Each structure stands twice: as C-alpha cells, then as structure tokens.
Amino acid sequence: MTYIKKHVPEIIALIGAVFIIAFFIWAFSQHATIGLFRVNGFFKMVFIAFGIFGLVLLILGLSYLCIKTRKNTAGVRWFSVLIIILALPAIIIPPVAFSYLSGIFSPAFIDTPPQLLLSGNTGDYGVPDMAVYFTTAEAVSGYTLTWGDNNGTTTLTEDNKTKQHLFILSNLKPDIRYFYRVNDEAGTYFSTPSIEGQLRFAIASDAHYGSANSRNDLTSYMLAEIADPDNGFDMFFFIGDLVEYGFNDNEWDEALRSFNTAASTIPIRYAAGNHDTLFSGLNNYLNYCAPQGLDSNAESRLWYRIDVGNVHFLVLDVEWSAETYTGAQAEWLEQQLKSIPQEDWTIVLSHGFYYASGIYSHGWKWYDNQETINSITPLFDEYKVDLVCSGHVHNAELLEENGVKYAVCGAFGGLPDPERTYTSPASIWYASGQYAFLDIVLDGEQCTLTFRNSDFEALYTATINNNQ
C-alpha cells in the first residue's frame, strides 16, 4: 500500500497509457475502423492526437520516475501533480468511449418489426426464396408463421428459444399474391416478381437515421412510394448507410420501424454501408439486415447474389473505399460473373462508389475513386456488367466508362453533398442537393432507369443497354 502511495503519479500515467493502447487495439480490430481512419481526415487527426497523448503520458511517467529517484524537490512534486492531471482524461475517456462504441452495455437485440427479406437461394420456380424476419429483445419460442396463397397455406413453428425469428418462404411461384401472418396477427400481403415479364425494383442508399442533418420525413415519403401497390415495385435494395452510427441501437430501432412501411410488403435486401458497420455496428448490421440462415451455402453475409430469372444481382461489400474488398470477395465476384450468360442482365450493387463526380473533403477525394476503380472495375469491364449502382456520395449521377453504366442513387434522407467541384469525365447526368432513389424497370431487352425525387417525380430517365 505504501509502495502504491509513493508511486501514484507514474502508476496513473502508466494506466492512462495502457488504456489508450488497449482502446486503439480494440478500435482497430473493428471491421470499419481502418477505412474510417484512412478516409475521414477529422477522425484520423483525433486518433493521431490521442495516440501522441498516450505516448507523451508514457514518457512523462517514466521521466518522473527517473527524476524522483534522484531528488525530491517542490518542482518534482509539481511535476507529479501535472502528470496526474494529464493522466485523468486518459483514464476516463477510453473506457467511456469503449462502452459507448462497443455497445457492451446495450442489449444484443432490440425488438424489430417483421421484414420480408430476399434470400440468395432460388426456389423451384425461379423466384428467390424470401424470409419473414424479426428480432426480439428476449429469447422466446413458439412464434408461428402462416403463409400461402389461395391454393393453400403452410404454418411454420419455432421450437427453440431465440431472439432471431427467421421463417423461410421457399419455392415461391412467380407473379402470385401471397400473404403471411405472425401468430394470430393480421395477414400481410405481398406479390412475387415475374420471371419472364416486367421486373421493377427500387435501389436507394444513405438514409442516415440518427443524424441531425437527415430528412427522414422525406425518407418516409419515398418508402411510401416504393410500398404503394400502384407503383408496382417487385423488390427493394437498400445499399448502405441506413443509420448514422451503426453502434447505436436507437438509430436501428428508428430506421427499422420506419422502413417497415416498405419492408413488410416489398421484398428487401441490404448492402453494408460504412456508417452501418462503424465500431460494433457490424454486429447490428448482420443481426438486423443479414441474419444467419438467410442464404444457405453463402460464403459471407456481407456479399451475395440474387437471381430472378435472367436478372442477376451481385451485391458487394465495399464500404469506405476498397478496404473491405478482400481477395475472397474478388474471387467470388469473378466466379459469379463467369457463370452468368452474357445475354442475361448483370447488376452490381455496393455502397462504395467507383466513378463519380464530387468534392474534396476531410483529406479525401469523394469522386472517381482510384482504389475501387483499379481493384474492382476491371472485372466489370471484362465480364461486361450492365449496370453498377452505388451510394456513399450523396448525389444522383449516371456515368459510363468502358461501356459499363454506373449509377449513384442519390441521398435517401441523408444530407445531400455540396455541389461538385470535380466532374468525372465519365459523367452523363448529375444532380446535387436532391433526395432521390433509383426506379428501374426491366422488360426483356429493355431497361429503363429513372432517378426519382421524394415527390416521386422523375429527375432523369435513361435507357440501359444489355452489354452482350
């Protein structure tokens, strides 16, 4: 005890430095932190400043130890006070930041409403399987799901206690109106896509629930338009940045409740955005948007393929830049592209963009991303991908490079980016300051792509050719 009393300043300094180091080890072991550090100049400065602070603390602690052993003057005592004052933030901030960012004190799951998720599995009739999926804060058993059409119903019952309630609807027939019912609640109706006729789907990105800058009232309008049966959407892809801070349960709660307007009746699937997977956000993204068992035989829950007749969606995990585009993902992408007949439609979706106009912000070029262009687009060129859709930059833009069309969806409620200061040579059409999403209609050899604003007005319409 006397020993500790005699060495309080250096012990506190050492604990502070260790806390900072431990926090860094944890933070950089999280899925999206390297991207955050590389792309966001503000956070890069915060990380560097805090790292230097930890180092200074360590040096001060060791210096104090050396000085104290030689003499014990008033100056040395003042030095000890200074070290203690400096060490306090290092002792307080890392544990507080860790508890906030890691979600360690939050429940693993919150109650979420049922979503109708698209599965990567294709049934006997060529329609993707779907799943009714919801989560509960407590593990419970005995939920039932009844689903079917005019010709008959099936009831699925959960036997084991679980917080993740996943009911797979398999071997769906095309162009049929089905219903599902959880326990004795009212039935919800949905329609399956056509395999040979017209296919209409919405693609949106960047809702950023939880950000004070977001216009999620406009997100609600756009969701209602996608859900409106008169508009005839068969499917909905939301490709990232659903929430501002993926580690924050309240934001997921708000987003999933709001999205339920569309997600309960229009089959939906997600791609991970850099904001969704921040720090411990990856678990939330996987738990709420990509549950285990949705795609059997899937190599990863972060990238997947969905087939609807001769239309093939390849969804990639590209978040900040190319950090999450692993060798395994590249290999998988090439295998998929190789297996798709050239006359079919191939549509690639990812949060992160490739060609885009934009601005320079926080030390990063938010336009033509040379990393993703160099590491991923050669495969799009080689296998003649028809359309690549992304978000991440909050603009609406259509571009073309090497015969491949690139569409940047527009902000689905997140704050639109400022007017571009760099115009991509690949740009065909561009709009800033717009809340928008993509409305795509595929009908045989015809593909019509329309950027729609929050009033469902067409901002721009283009015809996309099949790259034979």
Q: List, in sequence order, every residue forming a beta bridge with 460; answer none if it has no partner.
A: 451
Residue 413 identity: G
CB of 38 to Fe ion, least distance (A): 14
Sole window of 91-99, 113-121, 234-242, 286-294 interacting with Fe ion (rule: CB under 5 A): 234-242
Establish if 251 lies at the interface with Fe ion (CB under 5 A).
no
Cβ closest to Fe ion, residue 274 vs residue 424:
274
Cβ closest to Fe ion, residue 267 vs residue 416:
416
Cβ closest to Fe ion, residue 206 vs residue 386:
206
Q: Which residues, in sequence order, are CB contacts of 416 under 8 Å at separation 6+? A: 394, 395, 410, 432, 433, 434, 435
Taking residues 149 to 188 in sequence order and writing x for each that binds Fe ion by CB under 5 A, - otherwise, the string is: ----------------------------------------
Question: DSSP labels for 104-172?
Answer: TTS-S------EEEEEEEE-TTSPEEEEEEEEEEEEE---EEEEEETTEEEEEE--S-EEEEEEEE-SP
Cβ closest to Fe ion, residue 193 vs residue 210:
210
Q: Which residues, in sequence order, are CB contacts of 18 under 8 Å at separation 6+? A: none
Of 206, 307, 323, 386, which lies in the binding site for Fe ion, with binding defined by CB under 5 A? Answer: 206
- Widest CA span in the chain: 92
Establish if 452 lies at the interface with Fe ion (CB under 5 A).
no
CB of 241 to Fe ion, least distance (A): 4
Cβ closest to Fe ion, residue 206 vs residue 249:
206
The kind and range of the H/E element at 269 are strand 268-270
Q: Which residues, in sequence order, are CB contacts of 131 under 8 Å at separation 6+? A: 116, 117, 119, 166, 167, 168, 169, 291, 294
Instruction: Determine the length of the chain.
Output: 468
Sole window of 30-38, 170-178, 179-187, 202-210 interacting with Fe ion (rule: CB under 5 A): 202-210
Cβ closest to Fe ion, residue 274 vs residue 324:
274
CB of 136 to Fe ion, least distance (A): 29
Establish if 274 lies at the interface with Fe ion (CB under 5 A).
yes
DSSP-assigned letter for residue 230: G
Establish if 241 lies at the interface with Fe ion (CB under 5 A).
yes
CA distance 426 to 123: 39
Residues 328-387 that bind Fe ion (CB under 5 A): none
Cβ closest to Fe ion, residue 116 vs residue 278:
278
Size of the site for Fe ion (CB under 5 A): 5
Q: Which residues, in sequence order, are CB contacts of 351 under 8 Å at separation 6+? A: 205, 239, 240, 241, 271, 272, 273, 274, 318, 319, 390, 391, 392
Q: Which of 147, 142, 150, 154 is nearest to 132 (CA)?
A: 147
Sole window of 86-94, 198-206, 332-340, 438-446 interacting with Fe ion (rule: CB under 5 A): 198-206
Cβ proximity of 181 and 188 under 8 Å? yes
- The residue with tokens 């004070």 is 212
Cβ closest to Fe ion, residue 241 vs residue 386:
241
Residue nearest to Fe ion (CB): 241
CB of 207 to Fe ion, least distance (A): 9
Establish if 323 lies at the interface with Fe ion (CB under 5 A).
no
Cβ closest to Fe ion, residue 206 vs residue 368:
206
CB of 276 to Fe ion, least distance (A): 9
Of 392, 405, 420, 452, which lies in the binding site for Fe ion, with binding defined by CB under 5 A? Answer: 392
CB of 388 to Fe ion, least distance (A): 16
Residues in touch with Fe ion (CB under 5 A): 206, 241, 273-274, 392
